[in-house]
Amino acid sequence: MATNFKIPSAAKAKKYFQDKLDFTTGPVELERWVKQGQPVNIVDVRAADDYAEGHIPGAINLPKDQWHDVKMLKARLRKDKINVLYCYSHVCHLAATAAVEFAGKGYPVMELEGGWRWWKNDGFDIEK
């Protein structure tokens, strides 16, 4: 049985990758932004226990059970900075789910590709 191969549209590919660049970043870029003093707010959406074991330096913790607490959102998210969200790994959809939720409330968001796993495994600084 032969697989039917279709050549993707170059125009659709351009839009997809432009959107991806607009709404995701990698560990190298995030570390550079922090060092340059760029307006970023790093948000760890993992469980509080996992955050306590280690997280990206300067990250605040906003686990899923707090996403509907308006006071918590106002205290932890920023409208004057890009909220860079991360979860466990590149296959975890928790950060993407948070991005949909927070963007719907008017917060500017991006997702850290690779999440905590890539940050930790690539040897970037960790805070406890």
CATH classification of the domain holding 95: 3.40.250.10
Residue 2 belongs to some domain of the structure: no
pLDDT digits (tens, 9 = 90+) for 49-66: 999 999 999 999 999 999
Specify if 126 maps to a domain: no
The number of folded domains in the chain is 1
Confirm whether 79 is domain-assigned: yes
Q: Is 15 a member of any domain?
A: no
Tokens of 64: 């899923």
48 within some domain? yes
| Residue 106: closest CA among 57, 65, 73 | 73
pLDDT value at position 113?
A: 96
Residue 7 binned pLDDT confidence (cut-offs 50, 70, 90): confident
Per the domain annotation, does 80 fall within a domain?
yes
Which distant-in-sequence residues (6+ apart) come within 8 Å of 14 by Cβ?
Answer: none
pLDDT value of residue 40: 98
The type of residue at 23 is F
Q: In terms of residue numbers, what domain contains 92?
A: 25-121
- Asked if residue 8 belongs to a domain, the reply is no
Predicted TM-score (pTM) of this structure: 0.91
The pLDDT of residue 5 is: 82
Query: For residues 83 and 98, is the Cβ–Cβ distance under 8 A?
Result: no
